[in-house]
Chain A
């Protein structure tokens, strides 16, 4: 997606401005326009179940992009992603229930709360690395879920907080087609923000920190500030995804944000491919759709009903197997496969990479 090299073989850039461009060739433009058209037509041809899946994918994509910024680019591991999503959702839910706040207040508020939490839980990252950091973010998850549960019980919303559909003037966003476009634009915004961050100074600083902290510091990069910035931006985006989840589903409850959700997000960026935004999106698509594909496959088997009771267990097992297979055999993730396929066609009829050509 963000092409640092031109499509064709060889390196033709002659200025920094060219290096910063998002789209370089006419083919890329055509592909983008075609892709956008396809996205635009999709809701008018899909059943509402498919639309629902697409919306889930968009929501997951926002979260996955945010986690990719933090883990895949800045190199800071987080296992508390579900906690942040919960924090965003609860911010929206509580503001709505207690103050009747409108969505143009609750969603920015969720972003602010997310940023604050990101700041606080980014602090350990200044001292901790790798595993220890992952563990401290795990603690974040438990704390947020505890607080959310307390709120639900104390206020008597024992089956979750119901949130009304957002309303602009007299218009209520309820139709799934409209939701599709709303979530699509949020996901696109998240993608664009990330692309811009990554091709600017901040993104380069993150990459340097990920590669080697000491060297980055020696090069004059403010390591603590940039680490915190990564946490703040990523958490803020995640919290917005959480608030959107609350509005889209019409409810917020602690049970929706289990530790397994965090694992799913980590799986998205692994399966998609670390260090690539395209990877985050592919991972979000893959992980979101996998259980439904399995369900569909099982439904095709003869005597499907007798397996129905096994489905979730089967899903769990398959999810674990897929994750293991990717970790062992394709650490580059789906993006790695995609690049290999691309290279195959780019280099054809040669098998090896010609000097200076092909995509890394």
Chain B
């Protein structure tokens, strides 16, 4: 027994090596860098890493380097909890970031509250706490957000549809996606649409056809899905295989740009808050060049979320000054305006009560079969966040 204890002590002593740079801003992130969910988060986190490296190479913020600590939680809540504990208590970060599945939110929030450290959700879905009136410590830079997305989608459907809309809905059987689809179902009724079928699909489903059959047989002419990309696209593929020819609208996840080109489906609309990389704005060129220089293994067009988070962090730390503490950073985050240089429809603004953004912009894209390219269907549409 004694031996066991010595062994534990030795191992633990070894683990403390995590060097906390004294002369730098410590910023910590727990994210799904690996594991089944990583496809959605790892590219964004890599974008953030490249951005911060670029900032450091240019002399840092207020003359100090930003020490970005990346910890992997594989989307497991227990691992996220351990990571957050370590970041808050041992690494003494002034800012905590979460880039993972919603299952890791609860433990990360718990640690952020205990340690009074501000927490930014970057590339993970925005929890309701960041909407006005916002929780003092929680912020969100991510493009997609519960409720507002469905409002934008249904608004577009209403404006586009020529005949009465019979709406089919599809969600993945995870709480966050189900909640949003339930919300969309209620909202569609108030907009004069008829929700005809709502399918909640368990994630390890070998065959989506049974679900697609039900939606098709219910007579849907529009189908809306707000779920991880797999569910969105497999439901569509299932429907098309059954010969369904209606319009399909889904959220433009990071993968959307590549996937639209792969599917070549003229009636698949994606709604998003980020400009696609094919617009080729100067900022997109900049990201592509930086990613190339950093030899990143991830597709460049999935890095925008990380880049935006990086811009926000840089601006917040700059305003917080040196030496920064958690209170100063929270204060500067609560009164922040960041020019996103076209990555989104407008600047990102946070106020004391609104930690989501004062205006949320949406754009709709689809693949044009005649042109053989992705085209804009509707340009930036602003929704006030109150």
Contact = CB atoms under 8 A, between A and B. Distances in A.
Interface of A: 1, 31-32, 34-35, 38-39, 42, 46-50, 52-54, 56-57, 149, 152-153, 156-162, 174, 249-251, 253-256, 258, 278, 281-282, 285, 289, 291-293, 295-296, 299-300, 305, 308-313, 338
A309 B45 CA distance: 10
5 closest A-B pairs by CB? A312-B34, A255-B103, A251-B106, A158-B175, A48-B89
Nearest to B19: A299
B86 interface: yes
A64 B102 CA distance: 28
Contact of B78 (A1, A249, A292): A249
A330 B230 CA distance: 42
A172 B368 CA distance: 61
23 contacts: A31-B1, A34-B2, A35-B1, A35-B2, A48-B86, A48-B90, A50-B12, A149-B175, A158-B175, A159-B102, A159-B105, A162-B109, A250-B106, A251-B107, A254-B103, A255-B103, A281-B4, A308-B33, A308-B70, A308-B72, A309-B38, A312-B33, A312-B35
Nearest to B180: A158
A285 B4 contact: yes
Contacts of A255: 75-77, 101, 103
A1 B1 CA distance: 8
Given A1-B1, A48-B90, A159 B103 contact: yes
A47 B175 contact: no
Interface string B87-119: 001100000000001110111011000100000
Contact of A32 (B1, B4, B106, B114): B1
Interface in B43-90: 46, 49, 70, 72, 74-79, 81-82, 85-86, 89-90
Given A149-B175, A249-B78, A251-B77, 11 more contacts: A38-B2, A47-B90, A153-B178, A159-B175, A160-B103, A162-B110, A249-B77, A249-B110, A293-B11, A311-B33, A313-B35
A11 to B, nearest CB: 23
Contacts of B46: 309
Interface of B: 1-5, 7-9, 11-12, 14-18, 33-35, 38, 42, 46, 49, 70, 72, 74-79, 81-82, 85-86, 89-90, 101-103, 105-107, 109-110, 114, 127, 173, 175-176, 178-179, 297
A256 B101 CA distance: 12
Contact of B70 (A157, A159, A293, A305): A305
B86 A253 contact: no
A289 B15 CA distance: 10
A38 B4 CA distance: 11
B318 to A, nearest CB: 24
A98 to B, nearest CB: 17
Contacts of B11: 289, 293
A56 B49 CA distance: 30
Residue among A31, A158, A256, A282 with most chain B CB within 10 A: A158
Contact of A46 (B12, B18, B109): B12
A308 B101 CA distance: 18
A157 B38 CA distance: 24
Contacts of B17: 296, 299-300
A38 B297 CA distance: 47
A292 B15 contact: yes
B128 to A, nearest CB: 9
A49 B89 contact: yes
A256 B175 contact: no
B78 A256 contact: yes
A254 B175 CA distance: 10
A48 B8 CA distance: 15
A160 to B, nearest CB: 4
Contacts of B12: 46, 50, 53-54
B9 A42 contact: yes
Contacts of B106: 159-162, 249-251, 253
Contacts of A292: 15
A149 B76 CA distance: 16
A251 B85 CA distance: 14
Given A31-B2, A158-B178, A311-B34, A47 B16 contact: yes
A309 B74 contact: no
A153 B198 CA distance: 15
A193 to B, nearest CB: 18
A237 B94 CA distance: 39
Nearest to B114: A174
Contacts of A46: 12
A321 B178 CA distance: 38
Contact of A50 (B2, B15, B77, B81): B15
B103 A253 contact: yes
Contacts of A47: 16, 89-90
Q: Which of A35, A152, A174, A255 neighbours the largest number of chain B CB atoms within 10 Å of its CB? A: A255
Contacts of B76: 255-256, 258
Nearest to A308: B70
Nearest to A59: B78
Contacts of A32: 1
B11 to A, nearest CB: 6
B15 A49 contact: yes
B173 A256 contact: no
Contacts of A35: 1-2, 5
A57 B42 CA distance: 29
A289 B178 CA distance: 35
B5 A38 contact: yes
B82 A53 contact: yes
A153 B103 CA distance: 13
A60 to B, nearest CB: 10
A296 B14 contact: yes
A159 B86 CA distance: 22
A158 B1 contact: no
Contact of B34 (A50, A249, A285, A310): A310
Contact of A296 (B1, B7, B15, B297): B15
Contacts of A254: 103
A86 B349 CA distance: 40
A56 B82 CA distance: 9
